[in-house]
């Protein structure tokens, strides 16, 4: 069991700085997802932790051992880290079995049963061991890449967008198989992704990265409901911002008076709501109402664009897919739960 600690890491490519003072603690046996837009530095952080890149400053510790720090450098193969890159990167000329056993000591490689065990651990049949990678589906290849990373019993596994090339169905089943295998082995995991639902569902903690810095690190429910700033709010899902007037622990808006998580300074603020907090109902005296501008149907749910009658603000609600209103109809609205207040943009 190994806690991963990253402290004050700066990294650059030539003159161009990419990471700025990164601090991160991933407690032993837990998963932290790093979420952020393309180019913000997610892979660079994995490369620093894995030992493929030397940071300009800072330390990386695995348990009690410092693997990078002033005067300290532990080679990648001695860090006990499993790395699963974006495309799996299996050796095309080797069988599945040889891919998995590649990093094992010779005696274990000969014994053979460890390969079957590892394939079964990631939800694959041991019969696949004799196939070549190009005879497997994309999801199967990703699972083989994970089996290969787990072969040396790493204490830490780094997953770099391992599910990004898979279609929706395969993605869900592969993700579950990978999560089960990682939990079974009790490893400490960093998952890099730009998929917010993947980050929220897969990880114990979510770290939102923006331009080489963490905007927020916290539990999925915390970062979703109380994002640290507008960037984190918008990055973690659809966000509805409404201008309002703060009065202690609530804000008066065109959608009624909405309670907020923390008392807001008096005056004008913007409140953040998630679309599922806006509920549609019948038109009634004293209730905010809106015209349905358009709907986007996803099957299990739908997004509804609404123009508020009070001030013509356009907001989006997420509703169940069973009862989608027609464009042009007038509906009553209510807000459930608390909002997050920000200084006006």
**C-alpha pair distances (Å), 247 with each of 257, 258, 263, 268, 277:** 9, 10, 8, 10, 20
H-helix segments, 292-332: none
Using CA atoms of 79, 81, 86, 89 in order, give the dihedral in degrees to the nearest 10.
Answer: 80
Length of the chain (residues): 345
Q: Please say which residue, 17 or 325, places its beta carbon nearer to ligand ATP.
A: 17
Task: CB nearer to ligand ATP: give 26 or 40.
Answer: 40
Using the rule CB under 6 A, which residue among 4, 41, 199, 216 binds ligand ATP?
41
Determine the Cα–Cα distance for residues 150 and 83; give it in Å rounded to an integer: 9
Q: Which stretch binds ligand ATP (CB under 6 A): 36-44, 121-129, 169-177, 323-331?
A: 36-44
Position 31 contacts ligand ATP (CB under 6 A): no
Return the number of the residue (36 or 88) whose C-beta is nearest ligand ATP.
Answer: 36
- Out of 35, 40, 81, 96, point to the residue binding ligand ATP (CB under 6 A): 40
Q: Write out the binding residues for ligand ATP, residues 302-341 only, by CB under 6 A.
A: none
* DSSP assignment of 187-227: -EEEEEES-HHHHHHH-SEEEEEETTEEEEEE-HHHHHHS-
The only residue of 2, 31, 32, 44 in contact with ligand ATP, by rule CB under 6 A: 44
Strand partners, 17: 12
Mark the segment that binds ligand ATP (CB under 6 A) among 31-39, 111-119, 168-176, 283-291. 31-39
**Distance from C-alpha of 91 to C-alpha of 75, rounded to nearest angstrom:** 22
In angstroms, rounded to a whole number, what is the distance separating the alpha carbons of residues 262 and 251? Answer: 11
| Binding positions for ligand ATP, 153-212, rule CB under 6 A | 194
Asked if 97 touches ligand ATP (CB under 6 A), the answer is no
Beta-carbon count within 10 A of 345 CB? 7
Find the part of the chain contacting ligand ATP (CB under 6 A) among 42-50, 57-65, 109-117, 216-224: 42-50
User: Minimum distance between the CB of residue 200 and ligand ATP, rounded to whole angstroms?
Assistant: 17
Q: In this structure, how many other beta carbons lie within 10 angstroms of the beta carbon of residue 161?
A: 18
Q: Which of 18, 68, 118, 206 binds ligand ATP (CB under 6 A)?
A: 18
Positions 204 through 263 that interact with ligand ATP (CB under 6 A):
none
Residue keyed to tokens 């004799």: 130
**Is 39 an interacting residue with respect to ligand ATP (CB under 6 A)?**
yes
Smallest gap from residue 35 Cβ to ligand ATP (A): 10
Positions in the binding site for ligand ATP (CB under 6 A): 13, 18, 36, 38-44, 194
């Amino acid at each position: 069991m190994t806690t991963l600690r990253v402290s004050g890491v700066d990294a650059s490519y030539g003159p161009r700085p990419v990471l700025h003072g990164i601090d991160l603690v991933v407690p032993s046996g837990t998963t932290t997802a790093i979420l952020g837009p393309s180019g913000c530095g997610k892979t660079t952080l994995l490369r620093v932790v894995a030992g493929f890149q030397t940071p300009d400053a800072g330390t990386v510790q695995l348990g009690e051992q410092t693997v990078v720090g002033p005067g300290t450098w532990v080679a990648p193969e001695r860090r006990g880290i499993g790395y699963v890159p974006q495309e799996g990167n299996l050796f095309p000329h080797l069988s599945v079995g040889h891919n998995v056993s590649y990093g094992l000591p010779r005696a274990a490689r000969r014994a053979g049963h460890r390969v079957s065990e590892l394939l079964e651990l990631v939800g694959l049949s041991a019969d696949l061991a004799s196939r070549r990678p190009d005879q497997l589906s994309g999801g199967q290849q990703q699972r083989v890449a994970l089996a290969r990373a787990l072969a040396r019993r790493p204490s830490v596994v780094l997953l770099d967008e391992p599910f990004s090339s898979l279609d929706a169905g395969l993605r869900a089943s592969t993700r579950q198989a990978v999560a089960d295998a990682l939990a079974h082995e009790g490893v400490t995991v960093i998952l890099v992704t730009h998929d917010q639902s993947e980050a929220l569902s897969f990880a114990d903690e979510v770290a939102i990265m923006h331009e080489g810095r963490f905007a927020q690190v916290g539990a999925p429910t915390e970062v979703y409901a109380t994002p640290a700033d507008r960037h984190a709010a918008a990055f973690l899902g659809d966000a509805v911002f409404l201008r309002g007037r703060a009065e202690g622990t609530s804000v008066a808006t065109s959608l009624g008076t909405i309670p907020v998580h923390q008392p807001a300074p008096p005056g004008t603020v913007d409140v953040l709501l998630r679309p599922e907090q806006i509920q549609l109902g019948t038109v009634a005296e004293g209730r905010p109402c809106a015209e349905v501008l358009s709907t986007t149907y996803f099957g299990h749910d739908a997004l509804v664009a609404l123009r508020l009658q009070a001030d013509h603000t356009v907001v989006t609600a997420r509703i169940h897919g069973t009862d989608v209103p027609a464009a042009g109809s007038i509906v009553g609205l209510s807000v459930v739960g608390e909002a997050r207040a920000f200084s006006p943009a």
